[in-house]
A and B are shown apart, each in its own frame.
Chain A
Amino acid sequence: MATAERQAPARRSGANTALHELALAAVVVAAIAGATALLLLAGGYPVGRGLAALWSGSFGSWYAFTSATLVRAVPLMLTGAAVAIAFRAGVLNIGAEGQLLVGAAAAVALALVSREDPGLLALAPPLVAAAAGGAVWAGVAAFLRTRYGVLEVISTIMLNFVATYVVSYLVRGPLQEPTRVYPQSATIADAFQLPRISGAGRLHVGLLLALALAGVAGWVLRRTAVGFRIVATGENPSAAASAGGIDVRKTTMHAFLVSGALAGLAGGVEVLGVTFALYENISPGYGYTAIAVALLARLDPWRGVATALLFGALEAGAGAMQRDAGVPSTLVSVIEAALILAVVAAQAARARRLSGDSAVAIRPVNA
Chain B
Amino acid sequence: MNDVIEPFIAATVRTAVPLGLAAFGELLVERAGLINIGLEGAILAGAFGALVGASAAGVGAGFATAALAGLFIGVLFALCVVWIRADQIIAGTALTLLSVGATGTLYRAFYGSGGAALGIATSEPLAIPGLSALPVVGTALFAQPPITYVAYLTGPVMAWWFRRTHAGLALRSIGERPEAAEAAGIAVDRARVMAILVGGTLGGIAGGTLVLAQAGTFAEGMSAGRGFIAIAIVVLGRWTPHGVAAGALLFGAASALQYAFQAMGWNAPYQLFLVVPYLLTLAALAGAVGRARAPAALGRALEARR
Which residues in A have some Cβ–Cβ distance to B below 8 Å? 1, 3-4, 43, 90, 92, 94, 144, 147-151, 153-155, 157-159, 161-162, 165-166, 168-169, 172-173, 237, 288, 291, 295, 328, 330-338, 340-341, 344-345, 347-349, 352, 360-367
Contacts and interface: CB of A to CB of B under 8 A. Distances in A.
Q: 3 closest Cβ contacts across the A-B interface? A: A333-B101, A330-B104, A367-B304
Contacts of B87: 3-4, 344, 347-348, 365-366
17 contacts: A1-B304, A90-B305, A90-B306, A147-B286, A148-B287, A151-B302, A153-B93, A166-B275, A330-B104, A336-B101, A337-B98, A338-B98, A345-B84, A352-B85, A364-B88, A365-B87, A365-B301
Given A158-B279, A365-B88, 19 more contacts: A144-B282, A149-B306, A153-B89, A154-B281, A158-B225, A161-B275, A162-B279, A169-B272, A328-B108, A333-B101, A333-B102, A337-B98, A360-B179, A360-B182, A363-B301, A364-B86, A366-B85, A366-B86, A367-B304
B278 interface: yes
Given A154-B231, A348-B84, A43 B285 contact: no
Given A333-B101, A367-B301, A151 B285 contact: yes
B53 interface: no
B101 A332 contact: yes
Q: Is the interface of A mostly helix, strand, loop or mixed?
A: helix
A4 B98 CA distance: 19
A337 B44 CA distance: 15
A334 B285 contact: no
Interface in B67-102: 80-82, 84-91, 93-95, 97-98, 100-102
A340 B189 contact: no
Interface residues of B, number: 59
Contacts of B81: 364
Contacts of B89: 3, 92, 153
Contact of B305 (A92, A155, A334): A92
Interface string B237-278: 000000000000000000000000000000001011011001
A242 to B, nearest CB: 14
A150 B301 contact: no
Contacts, number: 176
A330 B105 contact: yes
B109 interface: yes
A3 B182 contact: no
A108 to B, nearest CB: 18
A148 B228 contact: no
A361 B182 contact: yes
B2 interface: no
A341 B225 contact: no
Nearest to B287: A148
